[in-house]
């Protein structure tokens, strides 16, 4: 079965972004950096692609130019074990110009969208009791960074 490797398009910040992501996620590393040659279209020696792994998941960053930018139509979801992890990844990914969004979404300083989600959120949002699930969903819609304990408390409120 072939591997599916997300390829992230940057203007010129691919290596910087890969280093940033590798500094945030454990068991992460840059595995290869390729440079433009004399054929261009960018100056020879500038970074073309950066292959990297985030906790074993492979990615490629390409410095393809300003023609394309990220949109919220694609995001990377980080399922966190607990609130401490949610808080840690939220802080790291919104640092230095990242932008908080709604319902656990954010954009990092490069414009890439992420969802930082606590483990167990799906269960409370899909509770067999539709009223409980609705209360949980309503609580989630009021949040930027998600707080599972607060969502569960709202779900359990009369």
The model's pLDDT over 45-69, given as tens digits with 9 standing for 90+, comes to: 999 999 999 999 999 999 999 999 9
**pLDDT at res. 40:** 83
Residue 60 main-chain phi, psi, to 5 deg: -130, 135
pLDDT band per the 50, 70, 90 thresholds, residue 109: very high
Mean pLDDT score across all residues of the chain: 97
Q: What is the pTM of this model?
A: 0.93
Kindly state the DSSP code that residue 27 receives in the 8-state scheme. Answer: S
Neighbours of 15 (CB within 10 A): 19
**And the tokens for 132?**
């409980």
Query: 70-158 sits in which CATH class?
Result: alpha beta
Residue 146 to residues 8, 35, 83: CA-CA distances in angstroms? 26, 40, 8
Q: Tell me: pLDDT of 71 over 90.
A: yes
112 with 139: CB under 8 angstroms? no
State whether residue 154 is helix, strand or coil: helix
Q: CATH 3.30.720.100: does it fit domain 1-67?
A: yes
pLDDT band per the 50, 70, 90 thresholds, residue 1: confident
Domain segments of the chain as ranges: 1-67, 70-158
**And the tokens for 42?**
């960018």
Q: Tell me: pLDDT of 142 over 90.
A: yes
């Amino acid at each position: 079965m072939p591997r599916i490797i997300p390829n992230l398009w940057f203007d010129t910040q691919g290596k910087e972004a890969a280093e940033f992501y590798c500094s945030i996620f454990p068991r992460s590393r840059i595995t290869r950096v390729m440079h433009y040659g004399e054929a261009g279209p960018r100056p020879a020696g500038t970074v073309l692609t950066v292959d990297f792994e985030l906790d074993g998941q492979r990615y490629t960053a390409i410095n393809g130019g300003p023609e394309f930018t990220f949109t919220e139509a694609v995001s990377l979801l980080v399922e966190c074990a607990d609130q401490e992890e949610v808080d840690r990844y939220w802080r790291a990914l919104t640092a230095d110009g990242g932008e908080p969004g709604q319902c656990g979404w954010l954009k990092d300083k490069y414009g890439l969208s992420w969802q930082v989600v606590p483990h167990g959120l799906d269960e409370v949002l899909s509770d067999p009791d539709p009223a409980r699930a609705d209360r949980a969903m309503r609580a989630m819609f009021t949040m930027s960074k998600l707080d599972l304990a607060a969502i569960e408390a709202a779900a359990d409120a009369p």
